[in-house]
């Protein structure tokens, strides 16, 4: 999910990343709406609100909404910064770092809300700011590593793309194209995962309150752990095999290819 970049990613990689991160985004967005009465990833809506507050001349609200928009931008900026600057050293950790930062943000919101929150306006706005930064991180990361195929924190683009795809499917030549079919499956998966996350958050909110952010963190940890386990388990077995004198699988394939070539010649 996290290790591969841009065109080297498979449909399955994008599906896994898209479904899990959209589920997390749905949970966070509805959680913030229920707890703080404001969305944490509805950026188009926040721009509209900013315009309306400018018209009304409400300086306080203009400042708040501008800060939120800036933090979402900053989140996306930091995520891509990590991807492009740290990838040459270690691609997995370059891609996992934004998710780790997001987990820290969400856990701090959950813990502060559970133990320290006194419901003052400044606390509400700071906690929402942290969540907008976290959503920016997530959206920036998924969009960046998937070559803009996976965007999970808002569904405006996804719904537009689905509309375009389904209109394309009215023609047989497009309907039979595997790449378009896969794209439709990916977008439908993202939409349904987001909805599922939002519904789970809405239902869990009454029981868990701020602890829903711990649940979201678990989903994000699963994303990091899935790739980490694959990477490090593979490394572990390779090292162990080398120690025991078993040649790695790749070298066996090279050996077989050499044999075939010599027979053919």
Partner 1 sequence: MKTLARYSMILGLSVLLIVILACQATNPENLMEGKWKECRWEYERSDLQLSVKQSSETVKAIAGENLMIHKAEQWCFYPNGLLRLHGASYTRDLHWAIKGRGNILELKYGTIIEHYQLSQLTPKKLVLNFETETQMRGIARLTFERI
Nearer to partner 1, 134 or 223 (CB): 134
112 binds partner 1 (CB under 8 A): no
The tokens for 163 are 């509309």
The tokens for 166 are 């389904």
Are the CB atoms for 29 and 40 separated by under 8 Å?
A: yes
Are the CB atoms for 98 and 78 separated by under 8 Å?
A: yes
Give the separation between CA 28 and CA 129, rounded to whole angstroms. Answer: 13
The secondary element (H helix, E strand) that includes residue 214 is helix 212-243
Nearer to partner 1, 70 or 174 (CB): 70
The tokens for 79 are 């995520």
Smallest distance from partner 1 to CB 86, Å: 17
Alpha-carbon distances of 84 from 88, 149, 226, 262, rounded to whole Å:
8, 17, 22, 43
Give the separation between CA 62 and CA 150, rounded to whole angstroms. Answer: 31
> How many residues touch partner 1 (CB under 8 A)?
24
- Letters for 119-138 (x = contact with partner 1 by CB under 8 A, - = none) are xxxx-xx-------------
Using the contact rule CB under 8 A, the part of the chain among 3-11, 116-124, 199-207, 239-247 near partner 1 is 116-124
Nearer to partner 1, 60 or 166 (CB): 60
Smallest distance from partner 1 to CB 97, Å: 19
Smallest distance from partner 1 to CB 226, Å: 34
Site for partner 1 in 47-76 (CB under 8 A): 49, 53, 58-68, 70
Residues that bind partner 1 (CB under 8 A): 36-38, 49, 53, 58-68, 70, 118-122, 124-125
């Amino acid at each position: 999910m996290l290790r591969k970049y841009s065109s080297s990613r498979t449909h399955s990689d994008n599906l896994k990343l898209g479904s899990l991160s959209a589920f997390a985004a749905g949970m966070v967005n509805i959680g913030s709406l229920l707890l703080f009465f404001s969305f944490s990833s509805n950026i188009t809506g926040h721009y509209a609100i900013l315009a309306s507050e400018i018209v009304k001349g409400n300086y306080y609200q203009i400042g708040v909404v501008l800060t939120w928009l800036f933090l979402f931008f900053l989140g996306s900026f930091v995520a891509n910064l990590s991807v492009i600057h740290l990838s040459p050293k270690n691609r997995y950790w370059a891609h996992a770092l934004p998710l780790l930062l997001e987990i820290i943000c969400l856990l701090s919101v959950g813990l502060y809300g559970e133990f320290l929150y006194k419901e003052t306006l400044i606390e509400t706005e700071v906690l929402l700011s942290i969540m907008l930064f976290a959503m920016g991180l997530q959206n920036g990361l998924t969009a960046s590593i998937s070559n803009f195929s996976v965007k999970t924190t808002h569904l405006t683009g996804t719904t537009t793309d689905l509309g375009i795809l389904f209109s394309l499917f009215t023609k047989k030549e497009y309907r039979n194209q595997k790449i378009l079919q896969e794209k439709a499956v990916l977008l439908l998966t993202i939409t349904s995962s987001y909805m599922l996350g939002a519904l789970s958050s809405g239902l869990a909110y009454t029981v868990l309150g701020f602890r829903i952010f711990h649940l979201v963190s678990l989903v994000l940890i699963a994303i990091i752990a899935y790739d980490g386990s694959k990477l490090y388990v593979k490394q572990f077995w390779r090292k162990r095999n080398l120690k025991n004198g078993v040649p790695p699988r790749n070298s066996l394939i090279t050996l077989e290819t050499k044999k075939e070539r010599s027979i053919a010649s």
